[in-house]
Amino acid sequence: VWKIVRLRYQDGSSMVEHLNASQAQINQTTSLEVPLADEVLALLLLGSLPDSWETLVLTFGVSTAHGKQLTLDVLESSLLN
């Protein structure tokens, strides 16, 4: 589980590679039967982004504060766009 928490995206690197690394860690955690809710996984992914992505992180924070559920699929889609 600690690998998911320590995962960090580096500006200028491939977002696809970062998402693949994130998914690999999620798969490994799941295989160890450590259940993590989808929203927790999305928050961990948001936490892996550097300060330069603060606007996106804040946007998702405001959305969830207004009752919109944060999901990993929605976040990944936004990161790829």
SS3 of 15-72: HHHHHHHHHHHHHHHHHCCCCCCHHHHHHHHHHCCCHHHHHHHHHHHHHHHCCCCCCH
- Distant-in-sequence, close-in-space partners of 7: CB < 8 Å, separation ≥ 6: 18, 21, 22, 25, 44, 48
1 with 61: CB under 8 angstroms?
A: no
> Largest alpha-carbon pair distance within the chain?
34
Question: pLDDT by residue (tens digit) across 19-46?
Answer: 999 999 888 887 777 778 888 889 889 9
Query: Quick check: 1 pLDDT over 70?
Result: no
Question: pLDDT by residue (tens digit) across 67-80?
Answer: 788 889 989 998 99
